[in-house]
Structure 1
Amino acid sequence: MHVEAFFSSGDGWAMPWVLDVELVESLRFGPPADRTDLEVAIALTQLLYGDFVSHGTDGQRRHLDDGNVPIVIKAHRAVLERLTLEPPAWPFRTFEGPRGFGTYWRDNGMRGSWQARRDCIEQILGPTRDALEELQELEYERRFTNGPSGSFKNLIFAADGAKPQIVLRDAVNNDVEIVRHADTCLVFTDPLPPHGLTWRQMIVWWTRRHQPGADEKSAADSLYRRLYRSLDSPPEQLLMRTYCARYAKEGGFDLPALIPQVYLHYDPYTRRSGKQSGALHRQRMDFLLLAPDRSRIVIEVDGVQHYGRPNPADEKGQVTHTAVPRLYAEMVAEDRRLRLAGYEVYRFGGWELTEPDGEQVLQDFFTGLLARHRKPTL
């Protein structure tokens, strides 16, 4: 996207630049239909960088004037926030005037030094430019990797009561709505950060939505307890305790968040008998990690119900199970579908996590998994 796209007219030196105010203000609510937020953010950054550097050095050609610089800065901030990037802190809002760049450089010892003024703009916008370039590189690399298909919309997870009932409210925009038992589950709809979803970012979301004013440690404890309540299987509970213990270590809050009981899809055609229909065989993932390298990692803990049916209890009250090949076939077929969609799927047998070395098995697994999916270096 070129800077010129924000202007309704202008051909360089011959005609004045006229900012398309309506277009720029609309960017606060989303990008144009044929553009992405990343493209818009890069172009807005280039526009602001070029104009302020020009004003602070040769004072020559600029696209903007004092009246519309604040409009562009507001749009820039909104687009960066959708990309989950920290917007720059502006010590001025115009070129001249009491809050202008000119006044700022004169008050801060930059008189007569073009380099000092260029350095000032670099300090303000340089980190944003660098972060956008990193995202651009990741987007380029993603085109040549087998990442997840589709785009992140929302997470419905951690139901601790009746199963939520979900409808497709708007098929054009793919908007879903929970029409029953919304109070039993959590819904995360914030933009997915470029480098996955960390425990710290989950805490920020939880604090804003469910515990305003809480400090980070209190909110983290409350969120962990709420997530843990959604688990009723001892092997699943062990898995979550083992992973989440890493949050307490140095840098632990910046690890990918372990999200339990995530609804992958909703099948409204389940038979009244309680048995699954033949349409969708797995409605919920046991655990999901959204990793720094943009991988979506599914972790399943398989109890006997995944591959067998209970027999009547014997005279001692003990229940055995009979293997059901159809259940196993449905499970591995769903795994194939997820892998083809770009997910990684890892399975644990519930039995192995009840063994004395179950916790160590999990520790070794998570150490290897996190090393494999660390944030890429550019």
Structure 2
Amino acid sequence: MLDLYEFFSSGDHWAEPWVLDVELIESLRFGPLADRTDLEVAIALTKLLYEDFVSYGTDGHGRRLNDENVLPVIKAHGGVLERLALEGPQWPFRTFDGPHGFGTYWRKNGMSGGGGWQMRRDCVEAILGPTRDALEELEELEYESRFKKGPAGSFKNLIFAAAGPKPEIVLRDAVNNDVEIVRNAENCLVYSDSLPPHGLTWRQMITWWTKNHHPDADEKTAADSLYRRLYRSLDSLPEQLLLRTYCARYAAEPGGFEIPALIPQVYLHYDPYTRRSGKQSGALYRQRMDFLLLAPDRSRIVIEVDGIQHYGRENPPDEKGRVTYTASPQLYSEMVAEDRRLRLAGYEIYRFGGWELTTPGGEQLLEHFFTDLLARHRKPTL
């Protein structure tokens, strides 16, 4: 593991005492470093805090931090963990000495006298151990991802579930790749929180929904409100059946809120030029995905429900007003070409014909499919 102790020091490691670079530490609260990942920094900060508090609680030797700079390190640690979508430790103390220090805490909680060293070690372990374990698990997943072909790039945001006129999107900041919805933003939802290491679950979606759209609601009420909002974005009966069938799992099964969220009508890309001209570009054939799952194994799973318009062109009504379609090799070719592009980009794609979901066995077909899909993409065991 990369040793970042020297990186956090503003002194010469060989010629001068170790001195914390406070300016660098405080910068971590506002964003990642240019030449180190947040995961690397979080692991190093966790180790630094762990070893210093254990040292203070035992022999007192080898400590690098003091009462003046330990709090900035704790705050930086929390900020980096938040960007990694990990829950930070709950600190019952924030310094070494003084009324709010570790020393005062252990004396008030019976960690003095015989066996005190081990009790104080156990105390630090209880505070920082879960964070260390979560970071090690995330580090292992990062290592495994090097050998698994997944989507290129990192998660930025989701624009989804448009109900009404579709959003118009511009690239507001080309340097940071920031997009902005300049028209009809009120008709769609935008998720821009950090993506947790193990995908995006219903519980995380409900937490986001509560915070941004339904404050003061309890979890069950917020979940029902989110489901109804997502359902409104779907126009076709087969798509509605698919969402209902999947959501019945998290509504009824124990632990159902921990399964991946099924996100409808997700914008994959946006081309204002083709919108203005009324033409489709072969490179941007599919602007939206019908459904997206961000699975625990970090797979991005696309589910498409194909109506006849995906592979046939509508004919003029006949003398009785009946509408028929003619199979279009061009439409079919455009659809499968986009599938190839997404697969090469690391997405996993599953297609349903709209017709098969309107048959009497459509719901059962979906139940079996989701059972197999979630089993295949469950959280990795380490």
Q: TM-score, normalised by structure 2?
A: 0.96
What are the superposed Cα offsets for residues 97-155 of structure 1, whole Å, 9 maximum, x if unpaired?
11111111122222132111111111111110000000000000000001111110100
1:188 correspondence with 2:194? no
Instruction: Give the deviation of 1:3 after TM superposition.
Output: 1.7
Partner letter of residue 6 of structure 1? F
Q: Distance in 1 between matches of 2:17 and 2:57?
A: 20
Partner-residue secondary structure (3-state), 1:356: coil
Which of the numbers 155, 165, 169 marks the counterpart of 1:166?
169
Partner-residue secondary structure (3-state), 2:6: helix
2:247 — aligned with what?
244
Task: Give identity over the alignment, percent.
Answer: 80
Partner letter of residue 123 of structure 2? C
- Name the stretch that deviates more: 101-110 or 343-352: 101-110
Instruction: Give the deviation of 1:272 after TM superposition.
Output: 5.0
Note the aligned Cα RMSD (angstroms).
1.2
**Structure 1 stretches of at least 4 aligned residues deviating more than 3 Å after TM superposition:** 271-275
1:328 — aligned with what?
332
Partner letter of residue 310 of structure 2? H
Partner-residue secondary structure (3-state), 1:353: coil
Partner-residue secondary structure (3-state), 2:323: coil
Structure 1 segment 128-207 matched on structure 2, within 5 A: 128-207=131-210
Give the number of aligned pairs. 377
1:316 — aligned with what?
320
Structure 1 segment 1-378 matched on structure 2, within 5 A: 1=2, 2-9=4-11, 11=13, 15-112=16-113, 113-248=116-251, 249-270=253-274, 274-378=278-382
Q: Distance in 2 between matches of 1:78 and 1:151?
A: 19
Q: Distance in 2 between matches of 1:272 and 1:39?
A: 45
Q: Is the 8 A contact 2:157 2:192 kept in 1?
A: yes
Partner letter of residue 237 of structure 1? Q
Partner letter of residue 283 of structure 1? Q
Instruction: Give the deviation of 1:30 after TM superposition.
Output: 1.5
Q: Distance in 2 between matches of 1:273 and 1:176?
A: 22
What are the superposed Cα offsets for residues 159-206 of structure 1, whole Å, 9 maximum, x if unpaired?
001111111111111111111111110000001110000001001101
Q: Distance in 1 between matches of 2:224 and 2:328?
A: 41
Q: Distance in 2 between matches of 1:194 and 1:154?
A: 15
Q: Give unmatched runs, 5+ long, in structure 2.
A: none
What are the superposed Cα offsets for residues 284-306 of structure 1, whole Å, 9 maximum, x if unpaired?
00000000000000000000000
Partner-residue secondary structure (3-state), 1:168: strand
Q: Distance in 2 between matches of 1:252 and 1:335?
A: 30
Instruction: Give the deviation of 1:11 after TM superposition.
Output: 3.2
Q: Give unmatched runs, 5+ long, in structure 1.
A: none
Instruction: Give the deviation of 1:4 after TM superposition.
Output: 2.0
Q: Distance in 2 between matches of 1:312 and 1:212?
A: 50
Partner-residue secondary structure (3-state), 1:163: coil
Q: Is the 8 A contact 2:282 2:334 kept in 1?
A: no
